[in-house]
Amino acid sequence: MIRLVLLCKAMRPMMIQIRRAGLAFFLFILTSPSLLLAAEKSSATILVKDALTAPGQPVTIEAKLVSKRLMLIAELGGELLELEAEGKVVARALTGWDGRAFLTYTPKAQGVTPIRVIIGNSPRVEKAEGQANLAVWEKRQPILMIELSSLLETPASSPVPSIGVMFEPERKPMLGAADELGKLTQFYYKVIYVVTSSAKMDGFQTGADARDWLKRYKLPTGSVLTLPADTNALGTKIDELHADGWRTVKVGVGRSKAFAEAFLQRRLEAIMVVPEPTKGDVPRKAKVAKDWKEVRKRL
C-alpha cells in the first residue's frame, strides 16, 4: 500500500505535464488559421419556396439550408444566406436552428422573376445555391389556382381522390394541357400551381420538384404553392389571399374533391378535370371537364 502511494506521488508531476501539453495542443488548434482552413467543409443544399407579392410591396422569401453528413439530413443554423434578384444581392439573413432563413425585400418590376439564394462566406459549408420564382402581379389581375394533379396524365378508370395526391415527377402531363393552359395565360390569367407535400419535406423539395416538372414540359411559368395533406389547408390559404387583397382568386381547376369544395364553400367557381366521372365523384355545383381543352371552354 505504501509503495502504491509513493508511486502515485512520483507520477503526479508527469500527469501535470501531460495535461499542460494537451491544453497547449488544443489552444494551438484553435488559433491556427491554416489548420482551420484545412478542415473539410460540409456539402449543402439550399431549398427555396416560391413567393407572391404586388409591385412596391415587401415580400419575404423563405429558404432552408440542408447539409448531408453521415447519411443523415441535418439542418445548419447560424449561416449567412444572400438573396439575389435583378442581378444583385437584395437581402441577407442568418439561418435559424432549423436551417431556415427569411429574406425580405421590395420588388418593383412586374412579372414572374427568377430569384437565387446563395450561401455567404462560410468556414464550414461549401458554396451552394437554390432557386425559385417570385411572382409580382397587380392585385386586379385574375388568378387561376390549379391543382397540379389535374395536369397529370391519368388513366380514365382511376378514382377521384378525396384530397390532393402527392406529386409524382415521373408522370407526364395530360395531352394538350400545356397548349391549352398557354392560351389561358398568354393575355389573361396568372397561375398559382397547388401541390400537396408530405410532412417530411416541409414543402421545400416538393416545390422544387414541381418547378422542374413544369419547366421540363414547358407549362406556363407561375407561382408554386405547397400545402400539407389537410382538407382545410387550401381553404385557409384562399381566405389569407383574399384578406391580403387578392380578391381575383375566384376560380380553381383541380382533380380532388377537397380542392373543389374549398372553392365551392366560398361561393367561388370550381372545375374538376375528370375523364370519366362516376356518381359521387364530383361535388354538387362543380363543373366537370374531361380534358384541358374543355377546361378552357368552361372558363
pLDDT in tens, 200-241: 667 898 999 999 999 999 999 999 999 988 889 999 999 999
The pLDDT score that the predictor gives to residue 64 is 94
The pLDDT score that the predictor gives to residue 125 is 87
pLDDT digits (tens, 9 = 90+) for 154-205: 766 666 666 666 667 778 999 999 999 999 999 899 999 999 887 666 789 8
Architecture per CATH, 143-298:
3-Layer(aba) Sandwich (3.40)
Residue 234: how many other CB atoms lie within 10 Å: 26
Domain ranges (residues) in the chain: 44-136, 143-298
Give this prediction's pTM. 0.83
Q: Which residue has the cell 441535418?
A: 74
| For range 59-78, the mean pLDDT | 76
The pLDDT score that the predictor gives to residue 6 is 42
Candidate ranges 120-134, 168-182, 245-259; pick with highest mean pLDDT: 245-259
pLDDT digits (tens, 9 = 90+) for 253-296: 999 999 999 999 999 999 999 887 777 778 889 999 999 999 99
For residues 19 and 249, which has the higher predicted lDDT (pLDDT)?
249
Fold of 44-136: Immunoglobulin-like (2.60.40)
For residues 77 and 59, which has the higher predicted lDDT (pLDDT)?
59
* Length in residues, the chain: 299
| Pairing of β 80-85 and β 72-75 | unpaired
